[in-house]
Amino acid sequence: MTAPTAPVLQIRNLHKSYDQLEVLKGVDLTAPRGHVISLIGSSGSGKSTLLRCCNLLENSQAGDILFEGEPVTWRGEGRHREPADRQQVLRIRTNLSMVFQQFNLWSHMTILQNVMEAPLTVLGRPRAEVEEKARGYLAKVGIADKADAWPSQLSGGQQQRAAIARALCMEPRALLFDEPTSALDPELEQEVVRVIKALADEGRTMIIVTHDMKMAADCSDHVIFLHQGRIEEQGDPATLFGNPQSARLRAFLSAGT
């Protein structure tokens, strides 16, 4: 498989433990270019851990991770396994931008400076070029007028939209969202959902951990239901939400969690 046709990300038989607690028990995931993959499941099912393993924020103990067809190289085994090539890790992380549940904006920088920082320092791009793109992405998420504001002056929804603009400014191959709306009240949550839906409509590759079943249904090409570290059920949203086969998934959906 050549790089242009390879999925942006592939996970094969991934295992992850914390001491004696096995969190991921042989999980597979494929994120083709331009597709939106949503990960759903109860708290503790392994969703966020899987997402953090995708961009190597967490080390897995077994299994394969491939970025655009290129396998991550490892050294050591089991609990001692770690990526062998730091440059490869940096390249993968800069191309898989993550948006966290907590916005993680730098309080001592304006919103514009927050969005510009990584392209300037990590990618070494020219300041004028980065500023133009940063302002464009702030406009895309609907807060162009907040460029010179401080994070403390923004609502939670505006801060999360700034975090999305910051991720976009790296111009990554894929965006990874870890419960992007769970820290927001319902009104502010919808501000962020609208931005994510617009990005999905643009054909951006995204992997989204979410508790918002409506967003997962509306935005996703493929939904994965994790239960106790394994994929209990997966499929296209219409089938998975409209005709769930697993009793565990039916119970999860009926509980509204």
Q: What is the pLDDT of residues 128-182, one digit of tens each?
A: 999 999 999 999 999 999 999 999 999 999 999 999 999 999 999 999 999 998 8
- Banded model confidence at residue 4, pLDDT cuts 50, 70, 90: low
Number of structural domains in the chain: 1
Q: What is the pLDDT of residues 35-82, one digit of tens each?
A: 999 999 999 899 999 999 999 999 999 999 999 999 999 999 999 999
Q: Containing domain of residue 248, as a range?
A: 3-255
Residue 141 · residue 164 · CB < 8 Å: yes
Residues 47 and 225 sit within 8 Å (Cβ to Cβ): no
| Domain CATH for 157 | 3.40.50.300
The β-bridge partners of 235 are: 223
Q: How many helices (H) and strands (E) does the chain have?
A: 9, 12
